[in-house]
Chains A and B, each alone.
Chain A
Amino acid sequence: MSASPTKAKAGAEKISVVVSAKVPVNDLVTRFEFKRQDGGPFPTFSGGAHTVVEMNDAGRTRLNPYSLMSDPEDTETYAISVRRDDEGRGGSLFMHNFVNVGDQMNITYPVNLFNLDLRARKHLFLAGGIGITPFVAMSKQLDRIGGNWELHYGVRSAALGSYAEELSTKNPNKVHVYEDDKGEAIALEALLNGQPLGTHVYVCGPKGMIDWVRQTAKQAGWPDDNVHFEEFAAPQPGEPFEVRLCKSDRTITVGEHESLLEALEREGVDAPYLCRGGACGQCETDVIRHDGAFVHRDHWLEDEVKASGKKIMPCVSRFVGASLEIDR
């Protein structure tokens, strides 16, 4: 129809915010709180949603997704928790070292790729480490609407258990914390077997934990639709590689410490994205020709499609080889 021929921009809508608090939670984790610059209310959101935070790191734009952990009904403040990753590409280090109260930043509207199934009779949350953040928001939302939830939370030690104490104190009958350094672990099989019919299980944590939960649930006969997980793959550094962009008619080089998506953006090529973590499918790009091997790191493409070499997810995946041509 084209009543107003505005072209969709990549990514979700942005909101300009001011950092209103920077709170050390423990040695590794810091909470950041945001208020809107225009003083207006934030949109409410659904538990499990994330926001993409835009960082201006010495002229280089970094866009990292973080789960929103504030109360979804709180329209004054948004909060995220950032775990410092000393080996990572630097987004979390930038947040820890250079972002301070009073700084202005852009974040996106909430995007939910890990939503509650509101049909569930019971919501069983399994968290590992910083994977606790979406469950903080989800439990607050369920408390408001009278939902039944239970949390099992694995932490390295009491000292590194972000929000563990707070959550247990507030919900002594619902929260179970397992401290790794004391040899405690979730008795997963027994836990899954003891759930009432209509329970949905949600897992967020390191990849190993997600795989363990999915496999154990499968073996115990849980339907796939009752097992929910969110796995943000962070882009990993790798050997630089060249890409020919067919639509834009030029060739660019993806540097060691940037993703293909970031390289496209640096070159001013409008490339779609939402999650930047290989989960949403939005950045899917056709491969026209290639001579070499893909390093697929997304959770979106089916294994056969990955093997076919016809698609790549530029937000997290890379390429090693002689030549690559994509449809951008």
Chain B
Amino acid sequence: MTIQFNDETFRDDYTFRNSDWAVKRFPFPFHEDSYMYSVNMEQHRGGPEGSVYEKRFDVDEHYVSEMKDRAIVLADDPLRCQSLPHMTLAGWDLLELIMVSKSEDYPDLFELHRDGNTWRWINKPLGIDDTFTFLDETTLPFGPMEYITRQSQGDFAVLDQRDDMLWMDAGMVTTQADWSLDFDIGMNFFEWHAPVPKAHEMGIFKRALKFLLNIQQGAPARRLNWTMTVNPLLDTSPENYHKWGIQKTGLTAENIGQKQFLRVELQTFYRLPRSNALAFPIRCYLIAFEDIVSVPKWGRRLHRVIRDLPEELATYKGFIDNRPKMLDYLSQYDDGLPTSPGVWPDLDTEPALSK
């Protein structure tokens, strides 16, 4: 299908909207009525047609506007994109992975023509047609990682693998859930995860690291993570907390359906060929509460998950103060009926709200 790209904003007047198509394919993250951290990893080998899991790098109606928002953030703060000197090769690996995947998965939107090391890249939605020499930085307007991630939705961390450890040595981070690349650059897997509650004691990070170190070429993996954001803001960074933190106090019973967003990250993991580094794309999807509750199963379930979430997690995710308001709103969409297992909307089989 051809995608109609929205013209929308993620700041100031917040014109971001999800179409019906985007709502139905939203990566709802809860497969049951409760949530706790786990090593929730699975293979990233496609998924149901039209779902966000189908393609290696999902492109949707928000693509063009998200890339404009990234350019604004970078103009303001160039340190959102950093790559230590030894990571340039990994940047080329990432550029190749994304160009090959997108041109194969979306041939009507992206084209890659390779003649030896002379590559021509055509990105139709963004109006780009560049010819460059692969592995020669001087032939691109930016370093390879920055060049390609200015054209790819989601954040990217590129991890060097050394001494049985992963190191955050490069990244493009402008759509993050309150963490900072500039702060984390050069840290290892345990160091940058230090602020997360409970998961360390549960042994989750030890097992997750072991899994990641063994991710192999040709066998990518994925997992979901989630949090809450008031207003459809992509850039919820510590650097800009003074701008967005106060917006959390503006929720009312009247506006919560439109202003409160569930924020879901589809995280994927790829072993890169030449550098043996690990690419970690973190794709952010936003959905307003009023759109979630339009799917009866999701409305019921979200209420139960938020109600029963341990306090440490609600605090860490930054919505402990707003939880009562969320529950007032969501409880209207929970009639106590059981929900079907799994994440899918099941619109044809799940009963309508009986309240």
Q: Which A residues are within 8 Å of any B CB, using their own CB? A: 1-6, 8, 12-13, 43-46, 48-49, 72, 109-112, 115-119, 141, 144-145, 224-225, 274, 280-282
Contacts and interface: CB of A to CB of B under 8 A. Distances in A.
B66 interface: no
The 3 closest A-B pairs by CB, nearest first: A13-B218, A118-B86, A3-B53
Interface string B269-292: 000011110000000000000000
B135 interface: yes
A111 B162 CA distance: 14
B332 interface: no
24 contacts: A1-B42, A1-B222, A1-B343, A3-B42, A3-B343, A4-B42, A4-B45, A4-B53, A5-B42, A12-B217, A43-B217, A44-B273, A45-B217, A45-B273, A72-B274, A109-B217, A110-B217, A111-B216, A112-B276, A117-B162, A224-B163, A225-B163, A274-B214, A281-B210
B347 interface: no
A115 B93 CA distance: 15
Given A1-B27, A46-B273, 17 more contacts: A3-B48, A3-B343, A4-B46, A6-B43, A12-B217, A43-B218, A45-B217, A46-B275, A72-B274, A109-B217, A109-B219, A111-B216, A111-B217, A118-B87, A118-B89, A145-B135, A282-B214
A144 B92 CA distance: 13
- Tell me if B's interface is mostly helix, strand, loop or mixed: loop
A8 B42 CA distance: 8
Nearest to B162: A117
Interface string B9-45: 0000000000000000001010100000000101101
A117 B135 CA distance: 19
B224 interface: yes
Interface string B165-184: 00000000000000000000
A113 to B, nearest CB: 10
B47 A3 contact: yes
Contacts of B217: 12-13, 43, 45, 109-111
B162 A225 contact: yes
A108 B29 CA distance: 33
Contacts, number: 91
Interface residues of B, number: 36
Contact of B218 (A12, A117, A141): A12
A270 to B, nearest CB: 15
B160 interface: yes
- Interface-central residue, A4, A45, A110, A111, by most chain B CB under 10 Å: A4
A289 B46 CA distance: 41
Contacts of A280: 214
A144 B134 CA distance: 12
Contacts of A5: 42
A1 B53 CA distance: 11
Contacts of B227: none
A116 to B, nearest CB: 8
Nearest to A144: B135
B250 interface: no
B56 interface: no
B119 to A, nearest CB: 14
Interface in B221-248: 222-224
B339 interface: no
A326 B58 CA distance: 42
B342 interface: yes
Nearest to B30: A1
A6 B45 contact: yes
A8 B27 CA distance: 22
Contacts of B276: 46, 48-49, 112, 115-116
A193 B170 CA distance: 33
B51 interface: yes
A12 B42 contact: no
A1 B218 contact: no
Nearest to A118: B86
Interface string B103-128: 00000000000000000000000000
A145 B89 contact: yes
B86 A109 contact: no
B161 interface: yes
B169 to A, nearest CB: 9
Contacts of A119: 85-86
Nearest to B214: A282
B268 to A, nearest CB: 12
